[in-house]
């Protein structure tokens, strides 16, 4: 049993961008040398989120559309009134969705469904440089 | 310290069904022989989710009602326009709620509250055969 | 490698209260003696939640405001009709947000962003005594 820490980087481009990071996470798993265990994909920041989705063009519209309906950009946020950075919606969305995702792995492979990819959601109101942590525990 | 993988199966019946899987997860824990640790309950698929709820008849209506209000079935989804499978809402809901849940355990028992059950949410627009993974790490 | 269980207590005051528990969690990590691993912060109860947020006064209004818009207090909940405890919205919100959060740690420190704090959300319709579990696995 061991703990391994892997970090990879992303350059995001815009608010609402959904990036398939399944290969990055699988590569972190392969590099770790671990076979069976649990890994945690985590963004150390308050305006991004990690989840899973079927990564196909329709849902890349539908999911941000739902965020725009549920937690709109163009309503008043006290965060924005204080800091004038225009990203109150980004923070609220990120707290709803959560900064991390756990995935089980077995025989050095992610135990995902066939149509299930791991994604990073850029929720900030501009592109960002992102470091994504993959913390693995296993044997 | 060891990693154990347990899998159990469910036959779901309809969209919005909430199934109490607390006993299945406790049985997976008992079978693992582990005493103290963390387990991850995970659905390998993009139209289901895992969370906790007080499993009583009122909330079994209230929670799906909230999903119907927030992420409706009868609006346009590009996923549906492409694939004609009528389950755009299922995917968006699943990405919001997340495919996994972590639960701590101690002395071979789940550390849940008295009125807190672990549930699988069927979010697809028909009943499905589901495999649920329980990945355990502990001693 | 070892598993450690730490528990701390909170006295909450009102529905929608957001409490910064980052120091409590860091103290649990320090007390555990572990250096590298994953910890799970978990509330054993069906009307609280754990997430991360930038803990500043603007967002302490914006996040509960979003909850009030999305899952209102003043609509009919069957949970309330059955139990007359007035907290149907609390349960639905808690199931959406989830009872737990995983955080990676390295060199005995939480791997959080600079502006990212761990928070407990009191979602029940009154103040409560809360026990929060921190389950740690690492080396």
Q: Which of these ranges, A58-67, C11-20, C54-63, C77-86, has the smallest mean pLDDT? A: C77-86
Mean pLDDT of A44-49: 98
Nearest CB neighbour to B104, from listed C42, C81, C88: C42
Mean pLDDT of C12-20: 98
Structure confidence at residue B82 as a pLDDT band (50, 70, 90): confident
> Does residue C84 have a pLDDT over 90?
no
How far is C66 from C63, CA to CA, in rounded Å? 5
* Mean pLDDT, rounded, of chain B: 97
> Hey, of B41, B81, B137, B138, which one would you mutate to test binding to chain A, going by the most A CBs within 10 A of its CB?
B137
Tell me the whole-structure pTM to 2 decimals.
0.98
Distance from CA of B114 to the nearest CA of A (A): 25
Question: What is the pLDDT at residue B84?
Answer: 87
Distance of CA C40 to the CA centre of its chain: 11
Structure confidence at residue A82 as a pLDDT band (50, 70, 90): confident
Question: What is the pLDDT at residue A83?
Answer: 87
**Pairing mode, if any, of strands B129-138 and B2-11?**
antiparallel
Mean pLDDT of B111-128: 98
| H or E segment to which residue C102 belongs | strand C100-106
Provide DSSP, B107-125.
TTEE---TT-EEEEEE-SS
Mean pLDDT of B105-132: 98
Question: What is the pLDDT at residue B81?
Answer: 87
Tens of pLDDT, residue by residue over C89-103, are 999 999 999 999 999
Nearest CB neighbour to B40, from listed A54, A102, A106: A102
Percentage of chain B modeled with pLDDT above 90: 96
| 3-class SS of residue C61 | helix
Contacts of B80 in chain A (CB under 8 A): 58
Question: What is the pLDDT at residue C90?
Answer: 98
Distance from CA of A68 to the nearest CA of B (A): 12
Mean pLDDT of C5-23: 98
* Binding partners of C (≥3 Cβ pairs within 8 A): A, B
Mean pLDDT of A67-90: 94
Mean pLDDT of C43-53: 98
Record: contact B92-A66, CB cut-off 8 A: yes
Record: contact C66-A1, CB cut-off 8 A: no
Residues B27, B133: contact at Cβ < 8 Å?
no
Structure confidence at residue B45 as a pLDDT band (50, 70, 90): very high
* Domains of chain B, earliest start first: 2-138 (2.60.120.460)
């Amino acid at each position: 049993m061991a703990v391994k820490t892997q970090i990879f980087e992303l350059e995001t481009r815009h608010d609402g961008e959904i990036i398939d990071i399944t290969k990055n996470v699988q590569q972190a798993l392969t590099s770790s040398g671990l076979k069976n265990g649990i890994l945690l994909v985590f963004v150390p920041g308050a305006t991004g989120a990690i989840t899973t989705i079927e990564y196909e063009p329709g849902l890349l519209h539908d999911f941000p559309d739902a965020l725009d309906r549920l937690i709109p950009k163009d309503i008043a946020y006290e965060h924005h009134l204080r800091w004038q950075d225009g990203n109150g919606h980004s923070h609220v969305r990120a707290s709803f969705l959560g900064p991390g995702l756990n995935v089980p792995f077995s025989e050095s492979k992610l135990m995902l469904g066939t149509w299930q990819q791991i994604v990073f959601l850029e929720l900030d109101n501009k592109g960002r440089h992102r470091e994504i942590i993959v913390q693995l525990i296993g044997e």
